[in-house]
């Protein structure tokens, strides 16, 4: 029986250099391969014409370039596109491409499902199957960039369609650092995708120890899912807060900024009607983030079946934004994109063979949502 081929999408350039060395090849072969695969988006070794025939023969025998296969595509009325990629064993993850006048952003998944259990997130409702491999993370960008170039009628590697990458899709990226770090290094490698580290963003719900590791291994722009101004509320919305409370999270953000490519952290704050959207809570949020150079991004909630939560009305969001800006905290409202194809923030669900007692957790979360809404309703009466 033939040995399984090595998927070269699993290697950053350093890893590819080690692999080539194991074949008796010089380090410059790894540079050539990186450029063929990630700049030219080539998966056919026979077309890699500046490689020695003997090396190409080794590649044909031992290796492959295999991104995950798309099984479904949806296109929004605003031009946003969502792809579902098959990652095996009945699991599928989703990636979203957001075209804008000055950039093209790809939102990438890092896990099949998510184990964080945040109350407001559709992905978390699916449960958790496994971490993605580096090839499955990088493969989303490889496939999307190749497809977009094909549609644009160009094979010029300088005609990049995707200028920004955000690891904000399905999963918690920092729970999968072993695969995420090589992927991020490829995104930024000038021999690969050549994306500025200011244009690569990792979003986390607040894994403090892993934030410190990321700062050392691959410091990129950081977005932190905050969503509550107090530990009491955040404990209910985001179970991770019970392990890493807000005071520890703020300290980790300050540490990260010593290494970050930007001089601020982005705090993401989902606006939930009657839960976290009062002006008093805006004042609490100001006091919480005041000592962290930051921008706050207010996100309209995108409802999904069974969430038990509701979207804050526009006027209340605007009032919250004004209160924050008047206090000197730069605050913006995220434009909702792709909500008609369930591609907006918090809506990615894919298909997940859960390993985490999903049904039990759903019952508990619905009870928690009901208790939060009831308590908020009594306070507002």
Residues 229 and 304 placed together within one structural domain of the fold: yes
Inside any domain, residue 129? yes
Residues 60 and 89 in one domain: no
The tokens describing 29, both together, are 């072969």
Q: What is the pLDDT of residue 373?
A: 61
How much is the pLDDT for 376?
Answer: 62
Stated pTM of the model? 0.92
Q: How confident is the model at residue 280 (pLDDT cuts 50, 70, 90)?
A: very high
Task: State yes or no: pLDDT of 377 exceeds 60.
Answer: no
Tell me which of 20, 107, 205, 345 is the catalytic residue: 345
Tokens of 89: 């064993």
In sequence order, the β-bridge partners of residue 104 are 99
Domain around 19? 6-64
Same domain, 35 and 82: no
**Encoding tokens for residue 253?**
């953000």
Give Cβ neighbours of residue 61 (< 8 Å, ≥ 6 apart): none
Q: Which of 47-51, 280-284, 377-381 has the lowest mean pLDDT?
A: 377-381
Q: Quick check: 170 and 109 in contact, CB under 8 A?
A: yes
pLDDT at 275 over 70: yes
Q: Are residues 115 and 247 in the same domain?
A: yes
Is residue 152 a part of any domain in this protein? yes
203 is in an annotated binding site: yes
The verdict on 93 and 60 lying in the same domain is no
Q: Do the beta carbons of residue 263 and residue 82 sit within 8 Å?
A: no
Paired tokens of 300: 């309209």
225 is in an annotated binding site: yes
Q: Is the pLDDT of residue 67 over 70?
A: yes
Q: Which of 25, 94, 136, 321 is flagged as catalytic?
A: 94
Number of structural domains, the chain?
2
Reply yes or no on whether 268 is catalytic. no
Work out the number of other CB atoms within 10 angstroms of the CB of residue 236: 19
Is 244 annotated in a binding site? The answer is no
DSSP 307: -
Q: What CATH code is carried by the domain that includes residue 49?
A: 1.10.150.530
- Is 145 tagged catalytic? no
121 annotated as belonging to a binding site for a ligand: yes
20 labeled binding residue: no
**pLDDT at 341 > cutoff 60:** no
pLDDT band at 1 (very low <50, low <70, confident <90, very high): very low
Whether the pLDDT of residue 82 is over 70: the answer is yes
């Amino acid at each position: 029986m033939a040995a399984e081929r090595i998927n070269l999408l699993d290697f950053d350039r350093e890893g590819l250099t080690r692999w080539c060395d194991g074949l008796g090849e010089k380090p410059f072969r790894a540079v050539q391969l990186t450029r063929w695969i990630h700049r030219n988006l080539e998966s056919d070794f026979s077309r890699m014409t500046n490689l020695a025939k003997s090396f190409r023969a080794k590649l044909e025998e031992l290796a492959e370039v295999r991104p995950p296969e798309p099984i479904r595509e949806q296109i929004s009325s605003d031009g946003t596109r969502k792809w579902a990629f098959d990652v095996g064993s009945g699991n599928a993850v989703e990636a979203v491409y957001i075209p804008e006048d000055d950039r093209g952003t790809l939102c990438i998944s890092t896990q099949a499902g998510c184990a964080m259990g945040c109350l407001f997130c559709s992905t978390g409702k699916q449960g958790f199957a496994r971490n993605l491999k580096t090839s499955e993370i990088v493969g989303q960008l490889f496939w999307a960039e190749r497809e977009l170039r094909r549609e644009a009628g160009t094979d010029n590697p300088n005609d990049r369609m995707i200028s920004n990458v955000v690891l904000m899709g399905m999963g918690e990226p920092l729970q999968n650092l072993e695969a995420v770090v090589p992927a991020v290094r490829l995104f930024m490698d000038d021999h690969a995708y050549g994306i500025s580290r200011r244009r690569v963003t990792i979003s986390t719900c607040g894994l403090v120890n892993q934030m410190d590791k990321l700062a050392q291994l691959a410091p990129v722009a950081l977005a932190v899912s905050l969503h509550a101004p107090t530990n009491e509320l955040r404990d209910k919305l985001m179970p991770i807060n019970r392990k890493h409370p807000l005071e520890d999270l703020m300290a980790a953000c300050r540490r990260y900024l010593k290494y970050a490519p930007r001089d601020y952290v982005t705090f993401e704050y989902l606006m939930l009607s009657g839960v976290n959207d009062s002006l008093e809570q805006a004042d609490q949020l100001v006091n919480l983030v005041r000592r962290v150079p930051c921008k706050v991004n207010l996100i309209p909630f995108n409802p999904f079946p069974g969430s038990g939560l509701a979207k804050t009305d526009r006027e209340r969001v605007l009032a919250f934004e004004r209160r924050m800006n008047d206090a000197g905290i730069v605050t913006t409202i995220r434009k909702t994109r792709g909500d008609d194809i369930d591609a907006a923030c918090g809506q990615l669900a894919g298909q997940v063979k859960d390993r985490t007692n999903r049904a039990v957790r759903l019952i508990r979360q619905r009870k928690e949502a009901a208790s939060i809404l009831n308590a908020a309703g009594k306070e507002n009466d």
